[in-house]
Amino acid sequence: MSTTNNVVVLIRHGQSEWNEKNLFTGFKDPELTAKGREEAKLAAERLKKLGFVFDCAYTSALRRAQVTLDIVLEALDQKSIPIEKDQALNERDYGDLSGLNKDDARKKWGEEQVHIWRRSYDIPPPNGESLEMTAQRTLPYYNEQIKPKVLAGKKVLVAAHGNSLRSIIMQLEGLSGEEIVKKELDTGVPIIYELDSEGNPSLYPPVTNSSLSNCSNS
């Protein structure tokens, strides 16, 4: 059993229908695929084996994150804990790229330009958000709502999106904008941080998709 307090667990939603189709999603609200639901169940199995009993949970205003959280908590038999939903944790808004196939976007704007929009820290796509802009709404919410709960000794689960979670990880790990844009987050895989009394993190051994599969087969 895990007896550690001051823990925050971050989990990117399971695979969505638009992830499967290689579409820019952002603020759009597709459902999870069957694979995405299975990813959430496997994540719950891993957390159960580690003995996590959560005190509260946070998620975005988008269904793919909410459903992921619901599946995890149901599998853990912890659906009665308080849950806060807020658009501050939403995925980055991809603006004019939203709903487009990534290959089609490269054909329209050029591979280099689309790469800049996707992987630069501070350059947004047309009518959308950069990662920096995403962090400007995500981090105040994390620092004002989530972090105080963790520092008060709570175990907190956050189910959100690749770029809103990158914003939080950037702060937790002290990464630069250039470093965080290179960090890939697998769908449905928990990332576990223990915070000391000043909010400095230590990272649990990374959980990978292969370790989740091994967990389910053990």
Which of 45, 14, 32 is CA-nearest to residue 186?
14
99 is in an annotated binding site: no
pLDDT of residue 212: 43
The predicted structure's pLDDT at residue 197: 85
The residue annotated as part of the active site, out of 13, 39, 129, 161, is 13
Task: Tell me, yes or no, whether 144 lies in a domain.
Answer: yes
pLDDT on residue 216: 37
CA 185 – CA 208 distance, rounded (Å): 10
For residue 179, the model assigns a pLDDT of 96
Strand boundaries in 162-209, DSSP class E: 190-195, 201-203
User: Count of domains in the chain?
Assistant: 1
CATH of the domain at 51: 3.40.50.1240
> Would the annotation count 119 as a binding residue?
yes
Give domain status of residue 145, yes or no: yes
Would 106 be classed as within a structural domain? yes
186 is in an annotated binding site: no
Is 64 annotated for ligand binding? yes
Residue 164 lies in a domain: yes
* Whether residue 13 lies in the annotated active site: yes
- Evaluate whether residue 108 is within a structural domain: yes
Structure tokens that stand for 48 in this block: 């159960």
Q: Which residues contact 35 (CB under 8 A, 6 or more apart)?
A: 14, 15, 20
Q: pTM score, two decimals?
A: 0.91
Is residue 40, in this structure, part of any structural domain at all? yes
**Residue 160 structure tokens:** 């959100």
Whether pLDDT at 217 is above 70: no
The band of 105, judged by pLDDT with boundaries at 50, 70 and 90, is very high
Residue 147 resides in a domain: yes
Write out the residue range of the structural domain in which residue 46 sits.
7-217
Please, which pLDDT band fits residue 184 given cuts at 50, 70 and 90?
Answer: very high
Residue 1 in domain: no
